[in-house]
Amino acid sequence: MVYSFAPGRVPPEGIGEDVLGGKGANLAEMSRVGLPVPPGFTITTEVCRDYLAAGRRFPDGLKTQVENALAETAALLGKTFGAGPDPFLVSVRSGARVSMPGMMDTILNLGLNDDTVEALAGRTGDARFAYDCYRRFIQMYATVVIGVEDGVFEELLDAARDKAGVGRDNELDADALRALVDAYKAAIIGDMDEPFPQDVHAQLWGAIGAVFESWKNPRAVTFRALHAIPDDWGTAVTVQAMVFGNSGTNSATGVAFTRHPSTGEKRVFGEYLVNAQGEDVVAGIRTPDPLLPTGHHDGHAMSERMPEAFERLNALGERLEAHFGDMQDIEFTVDDGTLWLLQTRKGKRTADAAIRIAVELAGEGTISREDAILHVDPALLDMLLHPSVDPDAKRQVFARGLPASPGAAAGMVVFSSTAAEAAKADGKPVILVRPETSPDDIHGMVAAEGIVTTRGGMTSHAAVVARGMGKPCITAASMVRIDPARRTMRAGAITVREGDFLTLDGAAGEVLLGELPMVQRPLSGDFATLMEWADSIRRMRVRANADALNDAEVARGFGAEGIGLVRTENVFLEGDGLQVMRETIMAPDERSRRLVLDRLLPIHRDTFVALFEKMAGLPVSIRLLDPPLQEFLPNDDEELGRVAEEMGMAVDDLRRRADELHEINPMLGNRGARLAICYPEIAEMQTRAIIEAAIIAGERSGAPVVPEIVVPLVAYYAELRHLRERIDAIAADAKSRHDSDIRHLVGCIIELPRAAIRADLIAGAADFFSFGTNDLTQTTLGISRDDASHFLTRYLDEGIIERDPFINLDREGVGEIIRMAVDKGRAAHPGIVMAITGEHGGDPESIAFCEEIGLDYVSCSPYRVPVARLAAAQAAIRANRGTL
């Protein structure tokens, strides 16, 4: 029923969390490793179950076992429970099999009474401290065990502060606290008609019973229901010796990292305070001293002032690292010269430190290279790859939104893409602020340092494009009201005018006033080493999504092994492409459209040649035009008039065509494969440009190019078959005209549920599948990513969903659809290549899912390629270990 965790008395390893609870098992493990944890013992969860089942009765024999364990523990420390000169004080804590933070009760400083409090005051020479411990204990005990309302004590404490004329609890002196203790005791009798127990054994049994009871309190019951924790597990009770860092000048309390949490350097780093409690550090009344001397040796460092304790701490740090295989964050207390470890856990660290520590731990042989890879959270890499706002800068938040693209940038506010381009031409850095962006805004986004939209979500047009460009972007900044007429915007009481400086913190989703300084550290050699290890271990390939040549360059720099998705709509915006595309759309029939499109062919071909050359033989997947044609037409009256004039046509004709093309739900409209079937001439022009470009690039470089042509938004097998016939015919014609025999591949994007359901058939006409998880999420969930931020935020708040499905792949829904498509597609076409090319391709959790279902590669924004390489390696390791 009772297990000690004193050194040498630790229970065998087989006795785990189910018996001892999480807390008890953890203490037992620390003690087993030889760490100096304050001694104590744990009453098993089984006792709790028996106690509750027997109508709140302790089982026979428990009393003896507990009293014996208590006596043994006290003797180990040379203290006495309930008596001076050195009274033994304990904490009594709950401990369920899994963590239920804050759900059950804890009591500290148990063992204090009117006698022992005086003994404590004598031993520590600090009556204020002793009485503060006592009044806290009484308050905790009375509320938890006796059932007094906590407000009673808070009122008395307020009164005591008023009477003493002080503002804070710790300014109350020993006499005031003594009086408060008396008032507390009187209040308990007044309220409950029973005194606060002076018998320390009565205190102990009251506390143990109360902890057991707390398993049944409403908070805990609700928590278990929500987290599917069985009601019959019960909680363990851990009774542990209290140690005090404020019991004299030979005592201290502090925090130590085994390596530097900012740089990763291998030396102990931390702070401590002599004769102090942990909460003193938090309260910030005294400034802590360093563990090791910094610049000036003033003798305050722990290594100088408490050299023995420090050396022991240093040695324990090494042992902990060896045991846990990672940098540790240790809470310690020195109680009258004796070092105690209260807690040790994996230390938080910066991205730089994380990489250095992982690589060095592997270099030292403490961990394997695989473990080193697992040690680094891929999300941290984002910080390394983008500049960030100087952490020391003073931030004044203008507005908050979704952190749609990381990085930081400062510039002058503009409210239109045209203004952005003009300012950029004048050499001015700009921040583009729009309600939302469309392909029409690409030139403005290229010109801007960063983008803010008041609408849209994590995968809106602005978000996707900005991530691709590696620029910070904040979307759904919904408190911002733009007044386009006055060229101002307002959030709360603050108004910002065009030309004012703003700074974006993309990772935080914050729009900051003024121009703040940035930092960006160069990538370290350790980073390169870690990525090399990751590359040698991962199974999945990593490609990048690229919209322009520049993206391809960035992607290669970050180690992309090809382009998984070229969104060709941007090629239509190059040069006078938009103008030509508008003429195409306005042309009266297919024949006229073909004539106009002939002018777009060379632009496309040149772009693709450059792309193939840049990727030097690496695979490149080019998607046929996907968005609805309406996106190429002007969308307001003013622009309509301007464009009509430019095109030399009647504004009514242009408006009529725009109205014809207008769609109520463009996401579900005439796009992708549908466009290619309704306007075959566009897909044919693109196909010819791709094949010709591949021939030219292959001849120039000598390395053959195998272009991959991607058909988007396929729902029916017949669509792909129909289009593949056309594509293959055009390709054959282009090859024969150029006397070439290069290969080409044709595949499709699986981004509609129907395509997944019919993947077996569709696989028959496809060389590869790429899963377009953005659109697949939209259709499977019936959620427009452009319109979702409002209710998804509410869903997250209400706990209806745990994560944004546009950021982390919805495994249970969209994931099941993908799994079905993979299984059906593979069964029908065993050699088919499968990949993910949606935004989820850069999300570590989603990448783990891709590994699980055996995809061949992931493709993501260029700036996320390193994240994906690392995440893919982690997934491969976990898959090998069976822990994916």
What residue type is assigned to position 341 of the chain?
L
Our finding on whether 60 is near a copy of itself (CB under 8 A) is no
Q: Which stretch binds a copy of itself (CB under 8 A): 282-290, 313-321, 773-781, 851-859?
A: 773-781
Q: Of 741 and 812, which has the nearer Cβ to a copy of itself?
A: 812
Closest CA to 77 of 24, 39, 33: 39
Q: How far is the CB of 485 from a copy of itself (least distance, A)?
A: 11
772 is in an annotated binding site: yes
Our finding on whether 218 is near a copy of itself (CB under 8 A) is no
349 is in an annotated binding site: no
Q: Which stretch binds a copy of itself (CB under 8 A): 261-269, 465-473, 577-585, 809-817?
A: 809-817
641 is in an annotated binding site: no
Q: For 740, how many CA atoms within 13 A lie in the half-sphere containing its CB?
A: 22
Q: Of 201 and 754, which has the nearer Cβ to a copy of itself?
A: 754
Sheet of 494-497: strand order equals 481-483, 488-491, 494-497
Quote the strand ranges of 311-467, DSSP E: 328-335, 338-346, 388-389, 397-400, 402-405, 408-414, 430-434, 450-453
773 is in an annotated binding site: yes
What is the C-alpha to C-alpha distance for residues 81 and 113, in angstroms, rounded to an integer? 11
Q: Which stretch binds a copy of itself (CB under 8 A): 121-129, 198-206, 354-362, 665-673?
A: 665-673
Q: How far is the CB of 851 from a copy of itself (least distance, A)?
A: 21
Our finding on whether 197 is near a copy of itself (CB under 8 A) is no
What is the C-alpha to C-alpha distance for residues 272 and 278, in angstroms, rounded to an integer? 9
Quote the strand ranges of 573-633, DSSP E: 620-623
Which SS3 state, helix, strand or coil, does residue 293 take? coil
Our finding on whether 665 is near a copy of itself (CB under 8 A) is yes
What is the C-alpha to C-alpha distance for residues 276 and 244, in angstroms, rounded to an integer? 8
Closest CA to 252 of 267, 237, 229, 272: 272
55 is in an annotated binding site: no
Our finding on whether 810 is near a copy of itself (CB under 8 A) is yes
The whole-angstrom distance between residue 7's C-alpha and the CA centroid of its chain comes to: 39
- Identified binder of a copy of itself from the candidate list 718, 729, 732, 827, rule CB under 8 A: 718
567 is in an annotated binding site: yes
For a copy of itself, what does the binding mask look like between residues 510 and 549, x meaning CB under 8 A? Answer: ----------------------------------------
For a copy of itself, what does the binding mask look like between residues 421 and 460, x meaning CB under 8 A? Answer: ---------------x------------------------
Q: How far is the CB of 791 from a copy of itself (least distance, A)?
A: 5
Residues 858, 793 contacting (CB under 8 angstroms): no
DSSP secondary structure string for all residues of 590-606: HHHHHHHHTTHHHHHHH
Q: Of 73 and 630, which has the nearer Cβ to a copy of itself?
A: 630
Q: Within positions 673 to 702, which residues make up the interface with a copy of itself, using CB under 8 A?
A: 674, 677-678
Q: How far is the CB of 382 from a copy of itself (least distance, A)?
A: 28
Residues 40, 27 contacting (CB under 8 angstroms): yes
Our finding on whether 786 is near a copy of itself (CB under 8 A) is yes
DSSP label of 80 = B
In angstroms, how far is the first alpha carbon of the chain from the final one?
37
Our finding on whether 716 is near a copy of itself (CB under 8 A) is yes
Closest CA to 548 of 603, 602, 596: 603
- Identified binder of a copy of itself from the candidate list 198, 263, 670, 808, rule CB under 8 A: 670
Report the alpha-carbon angle 876-877-882, nearest 5.
Answer: 95
For a copy of itself, what does the binding mask look like between residues 294 and 313, x meaning CB under 8 A? Answer: --------------------
Our finding on whether 669 is near a copy of itself (CB under 8 A) is yes
Q: Which stretch binds a copy of itself (CB under 8 A): 190-198, 312-320, 708-716, 727-735?
A: 708-716
Q: How far is the CB of 646 from a copy of itself (least distance, A)?
A: 25
The residue count for binding a copy of itself (CB under 8 A) is: 51
Closest CA to 219 of 103, 126, 323: 103
Inter-helix orientation angle 865-881/378-385, to 10° = 160
What is the C-alpha to C-alpha distance for residues 133 and 405, in angstroms, rounded to an integer? 49
List alpha helices for 648-788, DSSP H. 651-661, 673-678, 680-701, 717-737, 753-757, 759-763, 773-781
Our finding on whether 719 is near a copy of itself (CB under 8 A) is yes
Question: For residue 247, what are its two tokens?
Answer: 């019991």
Our finding on whether 710 is near a copy of itself (CB under 8 A) is no
Tell me the residue length of the chain.
884
Closest CA to 621 of 713, 724, 748: 748
Q: Of 286 and 662, which has the nearer Cβ to a copy of itself?
A: 662
Q: How far is the CB of 437 from a copy of itself (least distance, A)?
A: 12
Q: Which stretch binds a copy of itself (CB under 8 A): 79-87, 290-298, 504-512, 663-671?
A: 663-671
Closest CA to 623 of 663, 573, 580, 682: 682
Q: Which stretch binds a copy of itself (CB under 8 A): 61-69, 155-163, 386-394, 656-664?
A: 656-664
Backbone angles phi, psi at 838, to 5 degrees: -75, 180
Q: Of 210 and 763, which has the nearer Cβ to a copy of itself?
A: 763
Our finding on whether 286 is near a copy of itself (CB under 8 A) is no
Question: For residue 224, what are its two tokens?
Answer: 């278990």
Given the structure tokens 């785990």, which residue do they identify? 16
Our finding on whether 795 is near a copy of itself (CB under 8 A) is yes
Q: What is the 3-state secondary structure (H, E, C) of 345-391?
A: EECCCCHHHHHHHHHHHHHCCCCCHHHHHHHCCHHHHHHHHCCEECC
Radius of gyration of the chain (CA): 34
DSSP secondary structure string for all residues of 198-253: --HHHHHHHHHHHHHHHTTSHHHHHHHHHHT--TTS--EEEEEE---TTSSTT-EE
Q: Of 227 and 481, which has the nearer Cβ to a copy of itself?
A: 481
Q: Within positions 814 to 843, which residues make up the interface with a copy of itself, using CB under 8 A?
A: 814, 816-817
- Identified binder of a copy of itself from the candidate list 397, 706, 781, 853, rule CB under 8 A: 781
Q: Which stretch binds a copy of itself (CB under 8 A): 212-220, 589-597, 689-697, 807-815?
A: 807-815
Q: How far is the CB of 564 from a copy of itself (least distance, A)?
A: 21
Q: Of 300 and 674, which has the nearer Cβ to a copy of itself?
A: 674
Our finding on whether 791 is near a copy of itself (CB under 8 A) is yes
Our finding on whether 590 is near a copy of itself (CB under 8 A) is no
Q: How far is the CB of 482 from a copy of itself (least distance, A)?
A: 10
Our finding on whether 501 is near a copy of itself (CB under 8 A) is no
550 is in an annotated binding site: no
What residue type is assigned to position 617 of the chain?
G
Q: How far is the CB of 662 from a copy of itself (least distance, A)?
A: 9
Q: How far is the CB of 678 from a copy of itself (least distance, A)?
A: 5
Our finding on whether 9 is near a copy of itself (CB under 8 A) is no
Our finding on whether 664 is near a copy of itself (CB under 8 A) is yes
Our finding on whether 728 is near a copy of itself (CB under 8 A) is no
Q: Of 485 and 493, which has the nearer Cβ to a copy of itself?
A: 485
Q: Within positions 731 to 770, which residues make up the interface with a copy of itself, using CB under 8 A?
A: 751-754, 757-758
Which SS3 state, helix, strand or coil, does residue 542 take? strand
**Those residues with Cβ within 8 angstroms of residue 440's Cβ, 6 or more apart along the chain or in another chain:** 417, 578, 631, 634, 635
List alpha helices for 738-864, DSSP H. 753-757, 759-763, 773-781, 789-798, 816-828, 844-852
Known binding positions: 567, 623, 751, 772-775
- Which residues of the chain form contacts with a copy of itself (CB under 8 A)? 436, 481, 656, 663-670, 674, 677-678, 713, 715-716, 718-719, 722, 751-754, 757-758, 775, 778-784, 786-788, 790-791, 794-795, 798-801, 810, 812-814, 816-817
Known binding positions for Mg(2+): 751, 775
